[in-house]
Structure 1
Amino acid sequence: MSGDWAVELHGVRKRYGRGGNAVHALRGIDLTLPPGSFTAVMGPSGSGKSTFLQCAAGLDRPSAGTVRLGGTDITGMKENKLTALRRTRLGFVFQAFNLLPSLTVEQNVVLPMRLAGHRPDRHRTAEVLAQVGLADKARRRPGQLSGGQQQRVAIARALVTRPDVVFADEPTGALDTTTAAEILTLLRDAVDTHGATVVMVTHDPTAASWADRVLFLADGEIAAHLNRSPASHIAAHMTALTTPRTAYAETAA
């Protein structure tokens, strides 16, 4: 992979609307994430988490600043080039799985290769399905699988092209605690064993405790960060982030 950093954001701002009605979702994000790292992004509702993920992953363009992925500046990239880059060098895992019900597990996993115009690599597909514990489910359809198994398929699909970065948006949001832990184990293993870089937005301190580093967003800015920390420590940090405003509001009243 070219470049010293997997993800770089420099002065990234995102504004929706104009004039007095403008909403400043991101207010100047500066961030570098090394390859082979697992970063969790947390923050109160409306803090800019989703916008951050969309700008970092090239799904939305920042109003100002630059975004680099694996050393490639994607900020001004033409849409067709950006689409090709997303299909080959990025992986995505969403809360809603986003599998195609009419395709088999194997066909869902090779989809990024097909969309990128590459011949599906059956050996690689078998490898990632084994990695997520679904080697025997390749011919099944998503509707025949549990929620946890469907999210495993989504992870296999995200990893199949050996992407520079995997972006995960609330990947455990629809899962029970035990299944969530299994999914987080897979993401952690992708980082530790296979050198993947994972950036995960989550509202769950337990999920965030699996990451090497937790970034806290507030009002579109990085308000704080913690290195590998227990869930209780992360939860306390989240509480501290949201408390001052409440306390101020009570005093003002």
Structure 2
Amino acid sequence: MRLRGGTGRQTGDRPEVQDTSGPDTSGPAVELRGVRRRYGRGAGAVHALAGIDLVLPRGTFTAVMGPSGSGKSTFLQCAAGLDRPSAGSVHLGGTEITGMGETRLTELRRSRVGFVFQAFNLLPSLTVEQNVLLPMRLAGQRQDRHRAEAVLAQVGLAGKARRRPGELSGGQQQRVAIARALITAPDVIFADEPTGALDTVTAAEVLGLLRHAVDTLGATVVMVTHDPAAAAWADRVLFLADGALAGALDRGSADRIGARMAALAPRRDSPAGAAV
């Protein structure tokens, strides 16, 4: 199954990774071709991904949903270069990452991929500004404090640069994480249950920021979530079941998304076995 979204928006130049070709800003942000991921061998093998073909255009917001064990986490890890597929290829910003060595792959993730996690993953000993600039520091780039100030203002944290994460609310900490993801103008931002630890009102504020990053800043967001209300903020929702794509829904309401999810109960007789 091959799914394509609407026309993507160009997002300008991206930082290049040493010894790799620069991103193709005219092509898709993410492309998976025949991606499979198997854990273990023989009769006990788990086929977490059973052959994913997918193209995600730039400047779009995609939510990925599925029942527990459908392969959502494995999909995100393979697409983001955090895990290696057993077969197939992954392209980020026009660069194939499947066969990259770990050093080059780490460099690419630092400069061309942004991450937002449920647990925020901020360093408590650093200030807000230092946390935001950390990807640039790790990538060996000049730490642009003016850009950090601008990005913090975009996520509603103007004046908070000198604070420590512990002085902020959960919603404010997630805003810092979004600013950190935006700082390098990445090819794609991967968000893993970004609202899972937030109350309903704060979750809506964070999702509004991700939506704003796509609509106004030209960012590309891929979000794994279990929450139909969160997925309703996306341009397109992709559904996974038993490690395979099981359909898509464009601009769906929370009710329509929830109904589609209810129809995707895990199939015990699936040949793919349990996914993770």
Shift of 1:234: 0.1
Counting only pairs closer than 5 Å after superposition, residues 8-27 of structure 1 correspond to structure 2 as 8-27=31-50
**Runs of 4+ that moved beyond 3 A:** 243-246
Counting only pairs closer than 5 Å after superposition, residues 107-146 of structure 1 correspond to structure 2 as 107-146=130-169
Instruction: Check if 1:211 corresponds to 2:219.
Output: no
**Structure-2 residue corresponding to 1:234:** 257
Percent sequence identity is: 77
Instruction: Check if 1:177 corresponds to 2:229.
Output: no
Tell me the distance in 1 between the aligned counterparts of 2:268 and 2:79: 28
Shift of 1:68: 0.1
* 3-state DSSP of counterpart to 1:151: helix
CA deviation map 1:28-58 (0-9, x unaligned): 0000000000000000000000000000000
Over aligned residues, Cα RMSD in angstroms?
A: 1.2
- Code of the residue aligned with 1:37 in structure 2: it is T
Shift of 1:119: 1.6
User: What is the number of equivalent residue pairs in this alignment?
Assistant: 246
Q: Which runs of 5+ in 2 are unaligned?
A: 1-22, 270-276
Counting only pairs closer than 5 Å after superposition, residues 1-253 of structure 1 correspond to structure 2 as 1-2=23-24, 3-242=26-265
Distance 1:216 1:164, change over 3 A: same
Tell me the distance in 2 between the aligned counterparts of 1:192 and 1:107: 27
TM-score w.r.t. length of structure 1: 0.95
* 3-state DSSP of counterpart to 1:75: coil
Contact 2:67 2:266 in 1 (8 A): no
* 3-state DSSP of counterpart to 1:233: helix
Distance 1:232 1:245, change over 3 A: farther
CA deviation map 1:57-107 (0-9, x unaligned): 000000000000010000001111100000000000000000000000000
Shift of 1:4: 1.4
Distance 1:125 1:212, change over 3 A: same
Tell me the distance in 1 between the aligned counterparts of 2:187 and 2:142: 20
TM-score w.r.t. length of structure 2: 0.88
Tell me the distance in 2 between the aligned counterparts of 1:211 and 1:200: 9
Shift of 1:245: 6.2
Tell me the distance in 2 between the aligned counterparts of 1:43 and 1:184: 19
Tell me the distance in 1 between the aligned counterparts of 2:134 and 2:112: 14
Tell me the distance in 1 between the aligned counterparts of 2:218 and 2:48: 31
